[in-house]
Structure 1
Amino acid sequence: MTGNQEPGGQPTLREQLEVAGHQLEKKVRELLHEGNVQHLIIKHEGQTILEIPVGLGIAAAVLAPVLAAVAAVGALLTHCTVEVVRKGE
């Protein structure tokens, strides 16, 4: 995990998780339910495939198409990296 600071002065923590493609949707769902996640970046071999900004008030109806896209990406990849940007404390 690495520390950083956003332009507004808010400290952030970045974490990279290696995930098998078939487990990607489940992992993203778990991360979306955590309260301190601000941003998810899905990468494959160093290239960004999908970026998901996460807000506290995101409704399930808004997330449904995003999770469908994540499931499609996971079906195509054997493994990927999920970069998690969290609020620092």
Structure 2
Amino acid sequence: MTQQATEKIDVKGAHLVERVKELVHEGNVRRIVIEDSEGKTVMEVPVTVGVVGFLLAPTVAAIGALAALAADYSIEVEREIPESTDAGVTVPL
């Protein structure tokens, strides 16, 4: 079973596309929500293996259109955090 954590990152429009690409390539990101400076959701992208391979190009193009507006955005990132499995393991001294 995995846990989820949420992180919020503030970015300028010019850096929006590159930051989203970095997040997608991290591998543990499940969902990305892009909000404008007023906190309104502009785009929500589920990041799964199928989306990364098949739909990433049109999604990045849409994010690029947002970035062209050169506004301030925040990216809310939902990450998957695997639970630790080290219970019962002894460490030699």
Provide TM-score, normalisation by structure 2: 0.79
- How far the C-alpha of 1:88 sits from its partner, in A, is 2.2
Q: Tell me which structure has the larger Cα radius of gyration.
A: 2
Which letter maps to 1:40? I
Q: Percent identity?
A: 39
Which stretch shows the higher mean deviation, 13-22 or 75-84? 75-84
Show structure 2 runs of 5+ residues with no match.
83-93
State the partner residue of 1:3. Answer: none
**Aligned partner of 1:81 among 50, 74, 77:** 74
Q: Distance in 2 between matches of 1:62 and 1:27?
A: 17
Point out 4+ residue stretches in structure 1 off by more than 4 angstroms: none
Q: Distance in 2 between matches of 1:14 and 1:47?
A: 17
Report the number of matched residues.
80
State the partner residue of 2:89. Answer: none
Provide TM-score, normalisation by structure 1: 0.82
Counterpart check, 1:42 vs 2:31: no
State the partner residue of 2:12. Answer: 20
1:4-41 per-position Cα deviation (integer Å, ceiling 9, x unaligned): xxxxx742100000000010000000001011000000
Q: Distance in 2 between matches of 1:67 and 1:19?
A: 16
